[in-house]
Structure 1
């Protein structure tokens, strides 16, 4: 056990086996929904749900293990939600391409990721990002998670034109359970009870089952669906056609922005950034998501990367790759125990997302509120992340507005060359990704 602790540098990060294990399980519980949701979305693009479930789990296991053993970071990897919808609904249903061709585009994006990571271009771009935007990423992701949590629990629901959101029905059992679970969780956390967030999720789930809000599955153990119908079914030739290039570019930009923002936001919350606001050896976690993005389409699923729900494990004290290794282990078990792990209802894991948001507000205090060239880009990043329900839109707004604000005020020398590259990529995102 001491050798494992030494490998993951427990002493350096001031953590323990127990803390890392609880963190890994907590991260898994908050993101286990992807086992059900990702295949359901991809089924709209023609990818069969059963094999897609197996591919989702295996891609998550592969990427998270690489993150654990190679990068030694507490970040779990799984298929991205926005990218899966883009593939299923836009590329396949609207544009009429096959899912085999779409997955080939994901593969090529992964190849580009890997090459840029090896050449350290991605780390160069990440280190060029100003501190104010890094702080905005962390805060924006926190509020984004909070909004998801409020919606998943039913505390906030969709409204009507003119009033897009509204208070949910507090008389509904799921909402009452969520409110009770939220209060229970924050009380445990305020009393510094270890594993408070995980305890809150489990307690809310048990209460939901007891009140018959959440039904028990008919079986707890099942064999994983056969992967062969989608394994290695990429249409590489189709994705190499010139007309398909904008789609490859869009997938690349979406995944690049999501990954950079997530890695920096989570690292800031975990206190993993150095005195210059950079993540040491950032190439390693970037390589983990690059390799995962190459492997995922080979298995039959879409772009993968670091998951913002990893913040739940970080709040439980996860600081090393051992937490990710625990998360990967539970994903592996989900191949056979999927009915059990997906038993956790949205109003149970949603409370964890709400709580996380409150802890991720702190980085905003590091933004210079007296300097509008720093404040406005940070503000646009945060509000557009939340109010467009799209992390990429918020980040691109920040990347575009930051250099423009500096240039317009005669302070262009404060802008690093990498930021201008990110601004051009962001413009491409609006031209191709958002339009689609």
Structure 2
């Protein structure tokens, strides 16, 4: 069996092995397992029942991640996006007053559009049109964003007051202390070059939390999944195909395009998938996995689905092939029946991993040309706005708007590829029509 896996995924060519890939898959799953509970919790605000929504979340993750592993052969997890789910629940349904069925119709339409763009090769050309400095900014921005997520989830950073929107958390509480312990543990293990340091840190921190009674251990281990019938195939495509819904579809389309582009470029650069020309190899395959997962997710009853930035945790552990994704999908499948265990993993255990991985990704900032303001300003706008708006799409779109404009006004418009102007138009429309 090991030989079959090594040959299919060409593990030796990527400098990895079955054990490393399995370890990387477990690490990535541990950092994304929160979505099993968090996604349906958010979508409950839109009227989507929790139990069926949880099943739809897991099934869409299994579907997309399997395609990512078997077809694209990339070590990336796919699951419903954070941000897009909140946009549907709190804006499309909560503020604009549309039904969740119509919102899922818009998700389906954007997924179909992505599939067409991917099959036609246009989506891959969009990535190739991104200048190198912006690509590096994606890596740094994702790193800062991942670290910020970890800090917020752990309670190290909390909401402040007017005039000081962020504030240091309660560092004297036991959960935060456990997070800091986990961060130091993982850091020391990595410095000592201990294999599986991230996974070891997550497990030890979680076990200490359970043993000390800080976090509630799962009351049961196995549970049959709820029925998905109430939300399966309930999307309203016709209702989404109206002029009034144009802004919603445009927003969903652009957010997914930017999130996926930024994630795939960022984690792929981290994994060493860039060729000699500075382009990312075989990007159409993970793009297709992402697009098909969004279509499937809408049919199953959940929101926009795509590649997760937390996949960088598994890549840091050495995951380089689709075998990592197969392991992730296997654990998502277990989640259908063992979700009481996975949902009990505390943020204090997973947040240290996100903080460490994010810090490591930010090292790429030294590759950005800081002397050319037409390159530096768009890149830094991407990095800063990704985190400060808590929205990958906003940060990436800012870069795609600023880059061609600054090149144009500095007399360097010849450095802007035609497709980059197309991204400029798309992102400008995004900012104009976004339902603030």
Q: TM-score, normalised by structure 1?
A: 0.98
The match for 2:177 is: 176
1:154 maps to what in 2? 155
Q: CA deviation at 1:246?
A: 2.1
- Structure 2 match to 1:114: 115
Q: Distance in 2 between matches of 1:157 and 1:94?
A: 25
| In the alignment, structure 1 residue 142 sits paired with structure 2 residue 138 | no
Q: Which residue of 2 aligns with 1:355?
A: 356
In 2, Cα distance between the equivalents of 1:247 and 1:177?
A: 41
| Alignment gaps of 5+ in structure 2 | none
Shift of residue 432 of structure 1?
2.0
Matches within 5 A, 1:25-424: 25-424=26-425
2:83 match: secondary structure: helix
Residue 5 of structure 2 contacts residue 18 of structure 2 at CA under 8 Å; is this kept in 1?
no
Distance 2:5 2:159 in 1: 47
* Residue deviations 1:273-292 (CA, integer Å, cap 9, x gap): 11222211110000000000
CA distance in 2, matches of 1:201, 1:109: 36
Cα displacement (A) at 1:234 = 1.3
Give the secondary structure class of the aligned counterpart of 1:44. helix
- Distance in structure 1 (CA, Å) of the matches to 2:67 and 2:356: 28
Per-residue displacement from partner, 1:172-210 (whole Å, max 9, x unpaired)? Answer: 000111111111111011111110001001111001011
Secondary structure of 2:273's counterpart equals coil
How far does residue 343 in structure 1 lie from its aligned partner after superposition?
1.5
Tell me, in whole angstroms, the C-alpha distance in 2 between the residues paired with 1:172 and 1:325: 38
Q: CA RMSD in A?
A: 0.9
The CA deviation string for residues 101-141 of structure 1, in whole angstroms up to 9 with x for no partner, is: 11011001111000111110100111000000000000000
- Corresponding residue SS for 2:306: strand
Which segments of structure 1 move beyond 3 Å, counting only runs of 4 or more? Answer: none
SS of residue in 2 equivalent to 1:36:
helix
C-alpha separation between the residues in 1 aligned to 2:387 and 2:164?
16
The number of residues matched between the two structures is 435
1:109 alignment partner, SS class: helix
Q: Distance in 2 between matches of 1:276 and 1:210?
A: 52
> Cα offset for 1:74?
0.5
The Cα shift of 1:390 comes to 1.1
Mapped partners of 1:156, 1:86: distance in 2 = 23
How far the C-alpha of 1:374 sits from its partner, in A, is 0.7
TM-superposed CA distance for 1:309, in Å, is 0.5
SS at match of 1:94: coil
**Secondary structure, counterpart of 1:246 in structure 2:** helix
